Structure 1
Amino acid sequence: MQTLKDGVLKLEGSVIAIGAFDGVHKGHQAVITQAVEKSRFNQVPSIVYTFDPPPRNYFKGVQILTTIQEKVSRIAKLGVDYIIVASFDEWYATRPPEDFISELSKLNPVEITVGADFHFGKNREGDVNLLEKYFHINITPPVYCKGGELISSTRIRQLISNGDFRQSYTLLGL
């Protein structure tokens, strides 16, 4: 597994999972695992494309659940071939969606796996519908816990804030 900065890697084929993946919780693991399985089926490398810091931290100052080192470590355990870490800063946040599409094109994705609420580019102008105009997109359905509640980084932050570490660890898959 290799960790690279955005814009460095060029491949003849790939399957990409894209997301902030803060916490690499069970929902994130489903997105990544699905991409790894598809990459193996298609005999092309798997890539996780993520951001440091996570966009919600950059824009809203929300608590980061995992350091970049921990995030990369957890992702690596899922069998990914490459991890691309984009530095999420003012320049990156103001890029038009077409720049991101152009960058993804260099990876020649056979398929891109994202969550249904995925947005990208300046003002979140890019979405799953725009990606589908250029690539084959696989939307991983949301993952729910036994109690029927959505597993999300926001929910895990709330559990931690309430002191419910046991439940937060369960949702993180720890």
Structure 2
Amino acid sequence: MTVFHRNATKGPLPEHLRGGVIAIGNFDGVHRGHQTVLQRALDIAAERGAPALVLTFEPHPRTVFRPQTPVFRLTPAPLKARILEGMGFSAVIEYPFDRSFSELSAAGFIRAVLLDWLHGSQVVTGFDFHFGKGREGGPAFLMAAGEDNGFGVTLVDAFRDENASVISSSFIRKLVGEGAVAEAAGQLGYRYTVEAEVIGGKRLGRTLGYPTANMQLPPETELRNGIYAVRFRRPDGSHYDGVASYGRRPTVTSNGAPLLETFLFDFSGDLYGEVAAVSFFGHLRDELKFDGLDALVVQMKRDEEEARTLLSGVRPLGGLDRRLCF
């Protein structure tokens, strides 16, 4: 799959990607609601023998307009692209979103992006998609533009979960912030996953019998501090069950930066420098400050046992979860 970064100074879209079926949206989280839009685009593309593309925007618009409070991304761009590749898309178009682009009119977006650059044959998006300066372009505008310019438009109704509630990225962020990763998985359709490079640490875990793979997550990450049952996936596709701690390590430091530390079960080796993924299956407990390292180790053994028990019975939630976590 191609991840294409649009830049006005670069040439046209590659010929083999023109005339495609284009799913448009931010798709942060690629949750079950997003998946209904994306799957519709894939189905139409398959019927027509056309390329299936995703048009998304980087960085997230909220980060542009409120840089002092960047949005917590459920799926940063590289992870989102990997998920979309797993779904079967030919390319992800990461269009740069900045203040200049936000001033482009709805008609200008249709002409400059959808027609002159992408040469799209069909646009698929959610029923409430708005675009252009001041969000002036809506579903009716898009459908009229399609009729006038020869491309089809498919609007997909809001997806509701088993409780008839509309699934949203905002609600999933709230669940992750509460540590409710199992509930978040039900909304996402796969286990909440992070990706980062494995970095060096103080190697205290090794001296305690619990060597960990340490990862620094983006500062805007809102994952609740605590202990989790996880699955760790290496770049080569191999994966290991484990138990992870996310937080500031209050037993061993008074002012530590948040760190994700994962102890991999039944593994020995060097992981430094690898960009790995950690998927969260369950929240075991909150982060606590113990009265010394001996008490910490006793609790870590309990956490390991609980995580092994939880992970022994897990099953894929669906095809996407299987590709990411199994």
TM-score by length of 1: 0.91
Deviation of 1:62 after TM superposition, in Å, equals 3.1
Which residue identity lines up with residue 42 of structure 2 in the other structure? V
Query: Could you tell me which of 23, 26, 32 is aligned with 1:20?
Result: 26
Q: What CA distance in whole angstroms lies between the structure 1 residues aligned with 2:137 and 2:119?
A: 19
> Which structure ranks higher in relative contact order (CA pairs < 8 Å, sequence separation ≥ 6)?
1
Q: What CA distance in whole angstroms lies between the structure 1 residues aligned with 2:53 and 2:109?
A: 15
Q: What CA distance in whole angstroms lies between the structure 2 residues aligned with 1:17 and 1:31?
A: 7
Q: What CA distance in whole angstroms lies between the structure 2 residues aligned with 1:58 and 1:65?
A: 17
Q: What CA distance in whole angstroms lies between the structure 1 residues aligned with 2:132 and 2:153?
A: 17
**Which 5+ residue runs of structure 1 have no aligned equivalent?**
none
Deviation of 1:159 after TM superposition, in Å, equals 1.5
Partner deviation per Cα, 1:44-81 (whole Å, 9 max, x = no partner) = 11110001122234335432211110111111111011
Bigger helix share:
1
Partner deviation per Cα, 1:117-165 (whole Å, 9 max, x = no partner) = 1011111111111111222211111111112211111111122233321
Query: Could you tell me which of 93, 96, 108 is aligned with 1:84?
Result: 93
Q: What CA distance in whole angstroms lies between the structure 1 residues aligned with 2:138 and 2:65?
A: 18
Q: 1:1-174 to 2 correspondence within 5 Å? A: 1-6=1-6, 8-9=12-13, 12-60=18-66, 61-102=70-111, 103-106=113-116, 107-135=118-146, 136-174=152-190
TM-score by length of 2: 0.51
Say if 1:50 and 1:85, in contact at 8 Å, map to a contact too: yes
Q: What CA distance in whole angstroms lies between the structure 1 residues aligned with 2:74 and 2:104?
A: 25
Q: State the superposition RMSD in angstroms.
A: 1.7
Which residue identity lines up with residue 116 of structure 1 in the other structure? F
Deviation of 1:109 after TM superposition, in Å, equals 2.4
Say if 2:159 and 2:167, in contact at 8 Å, map to a contact too: yes
Say if 1:96 and 1:122, in contact at 8 Å, map to a contact too: yes
Deviation of 1:5 after TM superposition, in Å, equals 2.1
Structure 1 or 2, whichever has the larger Rg, is 2
Q: What CA distance in whole angstroms lies between the structure 1 residues aligned with 2:132 and 2:102?
A: 7
Identity %: 34
Provide the secondary structure at the position in 2 that maps to 1:56.
helix
Q: What CA distance in whole angstroms lies between the structure 2 residues aligned with 1:146 and 1:138?
A: 24
Aligned residue pairs: how many? 174
**Which 5+ residue runs of structure 2 have no aligned equivalent?**
147-151, 191-326
Q: What CA distance in whole angstroms lies between the structure 2 residues aligned with 1:167 and 1:55?
A: 27
